[in-house]
A and B are shown apart, each in its own frame.
Chain A
Amino acid sequence: MTQSAVHPTPASPTPEGGHLLEVRDLHVEFRTTEGVAKVINGVSYHLDAGETLAVLGESGSGKSVTAQAIMGILDTPPAVIRSGQILYRGRDLLTQPEEQRRQVRGKEIAMIFQDALSALNPTFPVGWQIGETLRQRAGMSRGDARRRAVELMDLVKIPAAATRLGDYPHQFSGGMRQRVMIAMALAMNPKVLIADEPTTALDVTVQAQIMDLLADLRRDLDMAMILITHDLGVVAGVADRIAVMYAGRIVEHADVRSLYKAPAHPYTKGLLESIPRMDVRGQQLSTIRGLPPNLMRIPSGCPFHPRCPYVQQVCVDVVPHDLVLGDGRTSACHFAQEVRDDSAR
């Protein structure tokens, strides 16, 4: 048994002052016969070793596309990366040749997907699929790969792992399938794990189990994690920081505690007010009016202005820049201060 494969190697130091992973001013378009959809419009975020960043947003906000751009698994065409940088340990992945990027995938940055049933190959046993990465990437023998696959399945708490190696994805329950998916992603001891809506397809009780498992694994294996979700409830116990996305931009960025306490963007505020809370009685649940914007025709100025209760003329005319609010918080709103003060009240 290769010892190095079982235990994470100590992370090589990141360049001085740099982050483990950093997305800088990323622009992505989808070019279709219907027109050009501007899916990502200048997203920047970073991730340090050992932390969990939650990326929050509605479907179509660009959170998954950003993750796929990091992984280098965007379908091009129709996707086109217009500009920006994705720095991993200080090196720009976007300028690297495909072969080099492939080496990063799975080994440095791994990803798990929303719907494990379709994300796993239906015609191969799960043990084979977990072992495939080890055989292909780490050059393990069949026997070693199988033993390591059992260890990984034990690690993600699949009962009687050794007897289930030969089972096919459809023979597992939803939660167990997601665990298989996680085991597969952990095979090469990645430094960064991107979880794209890992619990959306699952029952509520199973959701909590999977989130706990992910949090435990992140801590035990000393990974950094990007948790992509549209569910604010999922984020609270797990994440260190939150980046809220809207129309392909990050509209608010803050540590979890201060964001929950006093959101500084009307969109975040709307999201928070639309989830029921245990501690407030007789609370009126509100919704955000309107629908997410058409990415082929993003509204002028602040893209949220057609739905915003704080809207003024300036919102229609001027694109808001990130307003730094202290504690590393930013909000892309002309009235960030007022919104935060309103929320804190």
Chain B
Amino acid sequence: MFRFILRRLLQMVLAFFGTTLIVYALMFAGQGDPIQALAGERPVTAAQRAYLTEKFHLDKTGIDGFFYRYFDYVTNLLQGDLGQSLTGRQIGDILAAAWPVTIKLALIAMAVTILVGVTAGVLAGIRRASIFDNSTLLLTLLVLGIPTIVLAPLAQYFLGVKWQLFPPTAGAEPDLYALLLPGIVLGSLSLATALRLTRTSVAENLRADYVRTARSKGLVKRRIVGIHVLRNSLIPVVTFLGVELGNLMSGAIITEGVFNIPGVGFNLFRGIRTEDGPLVVGIVSVLVVVYLVSNLVVDVLYAVLDPRIRYE
């Protein structure tokens, strides 16, 4: 178990350097004027130019200069120093304010996914080919086929603006109620996937040989399904939910943007729209790290849940 975690940790460190190097190279390498590239089409003031030149060591040139700057960037990233956005705010401060909101939103989405998606998935798996099963399958297909950029604005319009069931936008200090609708929208995709995954997994496990054994032991049906089948069929589901939590944190760009929720995704959304290069690079770098760490956690979780992996 320990060796397994160690190996995964090592892989993650490699992946971290690989990914950040790619991100960095793509953002900066081979540009005519890297500062202008960061700023996009916006005019750059002399003060900004001076700051960026110093910040990214743009006075050094050549391949040496590139790696020098890259390690500088990684060191800063690891120290939590993400530099300033073009608006002059510390990116670290922006993120510190944004994370709690984003995490709250992700947790709401996750709760919806588990409560509705996994439960319905188990039921559909047990009653395969029933009306309930077929209608959930069709419904999840619909949800999976509707992009967030359609779902989020339409939910905002109908449920928020037209019928006024929810606050249409969240604002600066969103409470739980204001986050509920965005949370459901954000979670709907994971919900649909989780439901389908759970259904397939439960249905497959119900036909496994060990279920026959459990029946021949004279166990009651509730225990066979509730303990034996569920323990096995939830392994892939839990793994998926772990990956999804990482995705939800980094993937809320559209939802946070549409509902005006001041989270990490919203800041990235704004950074892209206002062509604020340093802000985009900073947030993307942090999100990549979050993504890598959540993948590591999921792998470890998988090993804890599935003894067959644990002892490999």
Contact = CB atoms under 8 A, between A and B. Distances in A.
Interface string B215-249: 11111100100001001100100000000000000
Interface in B289-312: 305-308, 311
A111 interface: yes
Interface string B198-223: 00000000001110111111111001
Contact of B232 (A73, A105, A123, A185): A123
B166 to A, nearest CB: 41
B218 A102 contact: yes
Contacts of A168: 307-308, 311
B214 A121 contact: yes
Report, as a range, how many residues of chain A touch the other chain. 20 to 34
Contacts of B223: 136
Given A113-B212, A123-B231, A124-B231, A184 B217 contact: yes
A171 B308 CA distance: 9
Contact of B212 (A104, A119, A171): A119
User: Chain B binding site: helix, strand, loop or mixed by DSSP?
Assistant: helix
B209 to A, nearest CB: 4
A132 B232 CA distance: 16
A73 B216 contact: yes
Contact of B216 (A105, A123, A136): A105
A268 B217 CA distance: 34
Most chain B beta-carbon contacts within 10 A, residue among A105, A107, A118, A119: A119
B232 A104 contact: no
Nearest to B228: A121
Interface in B159-211: 208-210
Nearest to A67: B216
Nearest to A105: B218
A118 B209 contact: yes
A122 B228 CA distance: 10
A2 B291 CA distance: 54
B234 to A, nearest CB: 10
A84 to B, nearest CB: 20
Nearest to B214: A121
Most chain A beta-carbon contacts within 10 A, residue among B208, B210, B216, B311: B216
A27 to B, nearest CB: 22
Contacts of B218: 102-107, 133, 136-137, 188
Contacts of B220: 102, 136
B305 to A, nearest CB: 8
Interface in A39-80: 68, 71-73
Contacts of B228: 121, 124
Given A105-B218, A133-B217, A137-B218, A123 B209 contact: no
Given A123-B235, A123-B307, A168-B308, A110 B216 contact: yes
A245 interface: no
Contacts of B210: 118-122
B307 A122 contact: yes
Contacts of A184: 213, 217
Contacts of B307: 122-123, 168, 170
Most chain A beta-carbon contacts within 10 A, residue among B217, B231, B305: B217
Interface string A322-335: 00000000000000
Contacts of B213: 113, 119-121, 181, 184
Interface string A175-210: 000000100110110000000000000000000000
A214 to B, nearest CB: 16
Contacts of B306: 122-123
A118 to B, nearest CB: 4
- Listed from nearest, the 10 A-B pairs whose CB atoms lie closest are A105-B218, A106-B218, A118-B209, A168-B307, A121-B210, A111-B216, A73-B215, A106-B217, A119-B213, A119-B209
22 contacts: A68-B212, A71-B215, A73-B215, A102-B219, A102-B220, A107-B218, A110-B217, A118-B208, A120-B213, A121-B210, A122-B306, A122-B307, A122-B308, A123-B305, A124-B231, A132-B217, A132-B219, A133-B218, A133-B219, A137-B217, A170-B308, A171-B311
Interface of B: 208-210, 212-220, 223, 228, 231-232, 235, 305-308, 311
Given A72-B215, A73-B216, A168-B311, 20 more contacts: A71-B215, A102-B219, A105-B218, A110-B216, A119-B213, A120-B210, A121-B213, A122-B232, A122-B306, A122-B307, A123-B232, A133-B219, A136-B223, A137-B218, A170-B307, A171-B311, A181-B213, A184-B213, A187-B217, A188-B218
